[in-house]
Structure 1
Amino acid sequence: MSRAGSDIMDMLHSLVATGLTEELERAISAAADPDPAKRVPINPQLIDKALKFLKDNGIDAPRANKKVDTLAGVLTDLDLDAEASALRMN
């Protein structure tokens, strides 16, 4: 790829990253509105889109993050076989 092509790709990546960041910030703000009638849940597709963008750009693991570590711990401790057996019994 020529340098000009590389510069254009860098610019496009920056624009997409900025757009996703702004959209996520708006969504987070709407989800946290103090007025319950105005709260809007964050669209899972937006989160998926942001995660895919990060992964496509080589950012596929967060730095140490307590919330992510907690989620990973819960998932690790989850016994899917026991959960499936309990569902079948009901």
Structure 2
Amino acid sequence: MALKEMPFPEILKAHYGTDAVSVEKLTADLDTWSEWVYSSEDHPEVDFDELGLRIQAACTYLIWKEGKKPLPSEPRCDIPTGDYYAR
């Protein structure tokens, strides 16, 4: 199954090898991934379509896990279930 066809929990499981990812790990990775987005020319090895899906999946998971929106310092999220924009 293509990544874009997977539900968000499966996207995270495909990336991390588990669906039990800590909020701290996801938050740290979101900070890293957002830096990659803003400096995409410096990261030719990154598949930005896949990265976008991981960002959406992580934000969706954080919203669900914490029962609140991710911190404003995290990247912008366009998610179909939340109408959430961090920036």
Is this a same-fold pair by TM over 0.5? no
The structure with higher relative contact order (CA 8 Å, sep 6+) is 2
TM-score, normalised by the number of residues in structure 1: 0.37
Larger of the two Rg values belongs to structure: 1
Q: Of Structure 1 and Structure 2, which has the larger fraction of its residues in helix?
A: 1
